[in-house]
Amino acid sequence: MKDTSTSVDRDKEGSSSGSGSHIWVMRRVMQVTMFLAGLAVLWMFLYNTASPFGIFPAFSHSINAQSSKQANYDPKLESVLRDASMKDKTVIITTLNDAWAEPGSMFDLFLESLQLGNGTQWLSNHLVVITWDQKTLARCLVVHKHCYQVETKGGNYTGEVFYMTPNYLHMMWRRTEFLGSILEMGYNFVFTDTDIMWLRDPFKQFYKDTDFQIACDSFNGNSSDLNNFPNGGFKYVQSNNRTIWFYKFWFDSRNFYPGLNEQDVLNNIKMHPLISKMKLKIRFLSTSYFGGFCQPAEDFNKVSTMHANCCVGIENKVNDLKILLEDWKKYMALSEIEKKESHPSWSVPQLCR
């Protein structure tokens, strides 16, 4: 009779060996899985610790955006915006302090540009001037009908506010906060610094179906490229949940970048993953149409605005903007044929070099 015990034992050994191998593989898979899960948890912890925003607080802004629209706002502001708005609830906004409101200074040049521009006269009816003090408000009401004095929340902006001083930073962030409240009230806006000359109707050059579009100090040719360096002095913003969230996100980000102005902080957060998750549509405006002293709009037949950027000091800005408007007057005096055939160039910058 054959001894079957050996074959049985071998079968048991093979079964035991196969089972042990299977268990070992399963253990390794579980160890790798737990290791990867641990890495993911660690990454999320570090991400939220390093980020000034955190994922959940930031998204809570989008939830609160709708409810914030129900907040109470100054009836005077409501009235000014309503009277100045276009049919689609769009307003043009600039801010003004005493130093820039002096007769013959920046504000007068800004208003003059709207009168000298090609098809820009009607835009004055939709301009809301936000003033920082009572004296500036009184001056504004003498020459314009839509003026509003904003609460400064502790700032004093009556005199010339020098670039990157604490007072300047406070003013820039108060402006950002205020513009966010305009969005919450349901108004779209074009914000413009007062040292920007409006030479053509910019609405013809704005992109369609875009939440937030902004001018550049230097434009690289691609309006969708986030590597463009934004200039906060000119932007067109649609009021919706995405932009309301974004302005809160932008304003809150100042706490993580102390000592930076709103433009530099925007440049730091523009690639933040939360912005893409919120599907905020951002475009950058070409300096061929929206130029400045940093990068001029060279074609007089295309230019919409020219900004006295890359320039410090009111006197320098006023001097060069006066020269710029003289250049524009000469161009506007040409016949239509001469405008197309001639190739005028700007005489500026001079003091702003």
End-to-end CA distance of the chain: 111
Burial classification of residue 11, based on how many CB atoms lie within 10 Å of its CB (0-12 exposed, 13-18 middle, 19 or more buried): exposed
pTM for the model: 0.81
134, 86 contact by CB (below 8 A): no
* Phi, psi dihedrals of residue 280, rounded to the nearest 5°: -75, 125
Strand partners, 95: 130
Mapped onto helix, strand or coil, the DSSP state of residue 192 is: strand
Domain boundaries, the chain: 76-286
Q: Which of 43, 71, 48 is nearest to 59 (CA)?
A: 48
DSSP symbol at 125: G
pLDDT at 36 (0 to 100): 62
pLDDT of residue 61: 46
Within 10 A of 276 (CB to CB), how many other CB atoms are there?
Answer: 11
Residue 206 φ/ψ, nearest 5 degrees: -70, 150
Q: What is the DSSP letter of 302?
A: T
* Structural contact between residues 84 and 78, judged by C-beta atoms closer than 8 angstroms: no
pLDDT at 248: 98
Reduce the DSSP state of residue 32 to 3 states and report it: helix
Q: List Cβ neighbours of 106 (8 Å cut-off, separation of 6 or more).
A: 100, 194, 195, 314, 317, 318, 321
Residue 340: how many other CB atoms lie within 10 Å? 10
Centre a 10 Å sphere on the Cβ of residue 341 and count the other Cβ atoms it contains: 9
Helices (H), 51-105: 55-68, 75-84, 98-101
Residue 28: how many CB atoms within 10 A of its CB? 10
Integer Cα distance of 307 and 16 in angstroms: 81
Mention the CATH class of domain 76-286. alpha beta
Per-residue pLDDT of the chain (353 residues; tens, 9 = 90+): 444 444 444 444 444 445 555 555 566 656 656 666 555 545 544 444 444 444 434 444 443 444 444 467 899 999 999 999 999 999 999 999 999 999 999 999 999 999 999 999 999 999 999 999 999 999 999 999 999 999 887 766 666 777 778 888 999 999 999 999 999 999 999 999 999 999 999 999 999 999 999 999 999 999 999 999 999 999 999 999 999 999 999 999 999 999 999 999 999 999 999 999 999 999 999 999 999 999 999 999 999 999 999 999 999 999 999 999 999 999 999 999 999 999 999 999 999 98
The confidence score (pLDDT) of residue 339 equals 96
Instruction: State the Cα–Cα distance between residues 170 and 154, nearest whole angstrom.
Output: 9
Q: What is the pLDDT of residue 252?
A: 97
Residue 73: what pLDDT?
86
* Under 8 Å between Cβ of 228 and 220: yes
